Amino acid sequence: MGYPLARACTAFDDQLARLQALLATFDDDDLHARSRCRGWVVADVLAHLHLGLQEMLCGFPMRTDAAPDTDHASYWRAPLPGSEHPEFEHVRFARALSSAYARPTALLEHMAPTVAALRRITRQLDEPYALQFQGHVLDVGDFVATWVLEVAVHHLDVTVELPGRPAPAGSALEVCRDSVAALLPPPTREATSGRDATALLLAASGREPLDDTARAAFGAAAGSFPLLG
């Protein structure tokens, strides 16, 4: 069984609504603020996220009869296709892309139809199917759940120096909690329950360290953080 499609789509729609609200608060100066991603300002993170959301749009029609080989958790440990050091190349590419706009906020205008299209598509999904994406096969519920996490973590990335902005959707953070829990050994999965979902996501993605209380709760599994590749 894949990740529940209705749960994933609801959380994704909620998160994109929060993203839209966040983007509406940004001006040109905000887009030059530091992000949580090394080497990127806010505009660079958004350029990266927009590329990903466009790739997601292309994923929905890639239906297949093949059995899924990746789920909403294992996706984060699967190697990405590309060169030997894709992370360095993409850091430079996203910076070049974001700087190509005559004004930083023009990027937001470019993102708007992509976000709107994804909200419409996911609202119309009513039955599970398998699809091909980045060399893997996922159930569409798992596919959407991975993008809930992607959007939520980058939402946190771009607000680190911009307090008082819309936060990620609570429903999205709960999907992220599910993915993080699934990456832990079964005996320690319950330790994710009741923990602050934002702090858990930041630690699982390597943005922030586990605090002492969480480290004690996870025991030996704390050494496997960050969990997301």
Supply the pLDDT for residue 89. Answer: 82
**CB distance 25 to 35 below 8 Å:** no
Residue 54 lies in a domain: yes
Closest CA to 69 of 2, 4, 6, 125: 2
Residue 172 lies in a domain: yes
- Flag whether 227 is in a domain: no
State how far the Cα of 86 lies from the Cα of 187, in Å rounded to an integer: 34
* Residue 86, in any domain of the structure: yes
Q: What is the mean pLDDT of residues 159-172?
A: 97
Q: What is the mean pLDDT of the chain?
A: 95
CA distance 218 to 20: 35
| In a domain? residue 220 | no
User: What's the pLDDT score for residue 26?
Assistant: 98
* Overall number of domains in the chain: 1
Q: Is position 223 within any domain?
A: no
Residue 21 lies in a domain: yes
Whether the pLDDT of residue 220 is over 90: the answer is yes
pLDDT (mean) for 13-39: 97
CA 119 to CA 15: how far, in whole Å? 10
Question: Is residue 181 a part of any domain in this protein?
Answer: yes
pLDDT tens figures, 84-98: 555 678 889 999 999
User: The domain that contains 161 carries what CATH number?
Assistant: 1.20.120.450
Which domain does 114 fall in, by range? 5-187
Q: pTM of the predicted model, to two decimals?
A: 0.95
pLDDT at residue 122 is higher than 60 = yes
3-state secondary structure (DSSP) of residue 131 = strand
